[in-house]
């Protein structure tokens, strides 16, 4: 069994739910065969989110870590290729903090690439019929904060563990007027399940184009 730590966030920005946590719970309740999945909810708070993540890693001792976050407005599940060393919050976090141009890790490298096979993960979700794409920006809010913090933890202390960040769209209940893209949480969970299987089984990523012109 491959030990997997799967995280999602608590609601933020006035929302009542966060589909990243809802999807993580669904996957952990019925994990893909061969995977032992532990779901942990992270606070949408700079600093504290990384403290909770570190504690979960110490407790679960995972071989694979996948952190999920909400990206409202995106039409599908997006696998993040890179996280950057900057916090620049457009809105306050759930503790009221709103850092501007602060490093996630002072003195850390400018960025960390995901150690997931990101293109294989996208391909696996597409094969499962889930709308998906590769993303080259995780933003500069708490999602990127966690993505970078995870990358730093794995690179500096746990080089044998692989991990990365994935954004999920709004759930339909969050856009009842249908005015923005949304995806049912069970569809998201199916995609994440396929992603985890691909990530656990793939050590060399696919060499296919998933680039962007802008």
Give the catalytic positions in this structure. Answer: 80, 143, 167
- Does residue 185 contact residue 86 with C-beta atoms inside 8 Å? no
Distance CA 77, CA 159 (A): 26
Distance CA 83, CA 151 (A): 8
Contacts with 90 (C-beta within 8 Å, 6 or more apart), sequence order: 140, 141
Distance CA 157, CA 23 (A): 28
Helices (H), 45-131: 48-60, 118-127
Contacts with 176 (C-beta within 8 Å, 6 or more apart), sequence order: none
Contacts with 83 (C-beta within 8 Å, 6 or more apart), sequence order: 111, 112, 114, 138, 144, 147, 148, 150, 151, 165
Radius of gyration of the chain (CA): 16
Beta bridge partners of 5: 38, 65
């Amino acid at each position: 069994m491959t030990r997997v730590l799967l995280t999602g966030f608590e609601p933020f920005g006035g929302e009542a739910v966060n589909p990243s946590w809802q999807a993580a719970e669904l996957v952990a309740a019925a994990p893909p065969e061969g995977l032992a999945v532990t779901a942990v909810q992270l606070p949408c708070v700079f600093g504290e989110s990384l403290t909770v993540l570190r504690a979960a890693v110490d407790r679960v001792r995972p071989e694979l870590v996948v952190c999920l976050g909400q990206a409202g407005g995106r039409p599908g599940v997006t696998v993040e290729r890179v996280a950057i060393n900057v916090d620049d919050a457009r809105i306050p976090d759930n503790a009221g903090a709103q850092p501007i141009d602060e490093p996630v890790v002072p003195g850390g490298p400018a960025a960390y690439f995901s150690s997931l096979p990101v293109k294989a993960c996208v391909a696996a979700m597409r094969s499962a019929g889930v709308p998906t794409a590769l993303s080259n920006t995780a933003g500069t809010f708490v999602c990127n904060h966690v993505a970078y913090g995870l990358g730093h933890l794995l690179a500096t202390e746990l080089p044998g563990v692989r991990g990365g960040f994935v954004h999920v769209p709004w759930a339909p209940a969050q856009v009842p007027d249908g005015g923005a893209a949304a995806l049912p949480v069970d569809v998201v969970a199916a995609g994440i399940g396929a992603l985890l299987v691909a990530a656990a089984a793939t050590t060399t990523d696919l060499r296919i184009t998933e680039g962007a012109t802008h």
